[in-house]
Amino acid sequence: MVRFKHRYVTVEIVSPIVPDDKPLHLKPKIFHDTLLNKIQLLHGDFGVAAITNGFLTKYCNENTRIAIIRSRHGPHRFVTSTLPFVTKIGKLDVRLNTLHVGATLKHSFKFIQKHQRAYLDRMWSKLKTVEEREKLEAAVMDFTKTDVAINIDNIA
């Protein structure tokens, strides 16, 4: 039996049009299809065929603008080389920053926890009431906004 290795690419979605305190209205399916189209454009049929097996958007948070993309080890280089060239997702102008490339989903979520905790620290200074802070923390630390729900308690 052959073991398939995967790589998990953690991506930050930056949009100059939408303010930081507003959520992006971005669906994982649109994000996934945009990446496939851009890979087709840059790497052709070979690039798409290489990544199609195992290519999946595992996590996409609209509030913190972070997504995790799963790809097979080896062809993940097609994905990471394509990310800087994505400028539009749907009708939204964006720029994608690669934050982390990891071998396991557990390590990717640990990285996201640290990154989102720093995001909360920056955003809390702008909020005035305790209710607003609690709402923001619940939205930012929610790891279930995906096609497949992921339980973070099993990861930590």
pLDDT at 98 over 70: yes
pLDDT at 151 over 50: no
At residue 26, the pLDDT reads: 84
pLDDT band at residue 8 using 50, 70 and 90 as cut-offs: very high
At residue 154, the pLDDT reads: 37
Alpha carbon separation from 128 to 113, 119, 120, 124, 132 (Å, rounded): 24, 16, 14, 8, 7
Question: Taking Cα atoms as reference points, which of 76, 59, 81 lies closest to residue 68?
Answer: 59
Alpha carbon separation from 110 to 41, 78, 102, 113, 136 (Å, rounded): 33, 25, 10, 5, 19
Q: Length of the chain, please?
A: 156
Grouping H, G, I as helix, E, B as strand and the rest as coil, residue 96 is strand
Ranges assigned E (strand) in 15-124: 56-61, 66-72, 88-89, 92-93, 95-102
pLDDT band at residue 12 using 50, 70 and 90 as cut-offs: very high
Q: Give the tens place of pLDDT for each residue, 13-38.
A: 999 998 877 888 888 899 999 999 99
CA atoms within 13 A on the CB side of 40: 7
Domains within the chain, CATH numbers bracketed: 6-155 (3.30.70.3250)
Per-residue DSSP letter, 142: -
At residue 128, the pLDDT reads: 76
| CA-only gyration radius of the chain, Å | 16
Q: Give the tens place of pLDDT for each residue, 32-77.
A: 999 999 999 999 999 999 999 989 998 888 878 899 999 999 999 9
CB 45 within 8 A of CB 112: no
Residues 4, 23: Cα–Cα separation, whole Å:
35
Q: Give the tens place of pLDDT for each residue, 131-146.
A: 877 877 777 777 665 4
Alpha carbon separation from 29 to 35, 100, 151 (Å, rounded): 10, 21, 21
pLDDT at 156 over 60: no
pLDDT band at residue 4 using 50, 70 and 90 as cut-offs: confident
Q: Give the tens place of pLDDT for each residue, 99-133.
A: 999 999 999 999 998 888 887 877 777 777 888 77
